Structure 1
Amino acid sequence: MEYIKKVPYLLQALLNICLFLLALALSVLLISETWYIMQVVYNSFFVKVDSYYEMLGELLIFFMYFEFIALIIKYFKSNFHFPLRYFIYIGITAITRLIIIDHDQAVSTFWWSVSILIMISALFIANKKKSMEEH
């Protein structure tokens, strides 16, 4: 019966190890994305760039890697807790990238924009609730 009480601690340790490995993998991808962006910028001085939307999409992917790494760091710093607002930031960035890359249909772009507005409203409510708890 004593070993059952140790199961949550074992699972928490496994989760922490997996998140650490994920952070390492995301860091490698972030460095790779940085290198790719630097190459595109360097080449754009000598060759005409075909699509600025693609470059902007790559920058947003860069920020998504950055946000996920920041989320994992915050998880460890806040005693194994994921703050909701970080997920909202990641969602807003992901949908913004989607709108920039795939904006062919006006109706779908409108609905994606509405979803960003909803997430910003949720972020406002979450921050307002947090500031009310501090006072």
Structure 2
Amino acid sequence: MNQKNSPYIQLIKAVPKSLQLFLNVCLVLLALILAFLLFKELIEFLKILLFTKEGGDYKLFLANILIFFLYFEFITMIIKYFKEDYHFPLRYFIYIGITAMIRLIIVEHDHPLNTLIYSVIILILIISYFIINITPLERPTRSSLFMNKEH
């Protein structure tokens, strides 16, 4: 019996491809839903700017702007997923986390301790982003940060 043409081997090869196709279809549907919500949020901006007297509630406006950016970042992350050969870059999750925490601080700033905790979370996310940026993709034999440079 030929190993390459065995039904079992063909099934094993077909399952990941089928799951990848299902995942891709779901992500495209999610991107379409997010694009619709992004457009809806844009309409809300126009309503607040054009039809609200005396500038309206600035907290609501800022919260809507940050929700807009969250939708935008998720759509961008889905686009990157397809462009980078089915891989989600970690930095986009960090961007989304920072934006979500900033929105939380703006919307729910009544409790000072919670605001401090949210700020510490933002600091941790920024430090994580810095570490990701200074860490090389390939592991070198010696770290470039701690090398002694000889003249």
TM-score (structure 1 length as normaliser): 0.92
Matched, 1:116 2:116: no
Q: 1:132 to 1:113 in 2, by over 3 A?
A: farther
Unaligned runs of 5+ in 1: none
**Paired letter, 2:131:** I
1:103 maps to which of 109, 119, 128: 109
1:78 maps to 84
1:53 maps to which of 54, 59, 64: 59
> Which protein has greater RCO, CA pairs closer than 8 Å, 6+ apart?
1
1:26 maps to 34
1:71-106: CA deviation from partner (whole Å, max 9, x where unpaired): 000000000000000000000000100000000000
Determine which structure has the larger helix proportion and give its number.
1
Q: Residues of 2 paired with 1:130 and 1:70: CA distance? A: 23
How many residues align structurally? 133
2:13 maps to 5
1:27-53: CA deviation from partner (whole Å, max 9, x where unpaired): 011011001111101123xx1344211
Q: 1:80 to 1:132 in 2, by over 3 A?
A: closer
Unaligned runs of 5+ in 2: 1-7, 145-151
SS at match of 2:54: coil
SS at match of 1:48: helix
Q: 1:31 to 1:130 in 2, by over 3 A?
A: farther
Structure possessing the higher radius of gyration over alpha carbons: 2
Q: 1:132 to 1:8 in 2, by over 3 A?
A: closer
Q: Residues of 2 paired with 1:26 and 1:8: CA distance? A: 26
Q: Residues of 2 paired with 1:109 and 1:71: CA distance? A: 27
Contact 2:49 2:55 in 1 (8 A): no
Q: Residues of 2 paired with 1:57 and 1:119: CA distance? A: 20
TM-score (structure 2 length as normaliser): 0.83
**Paired letter, 1:108:** N
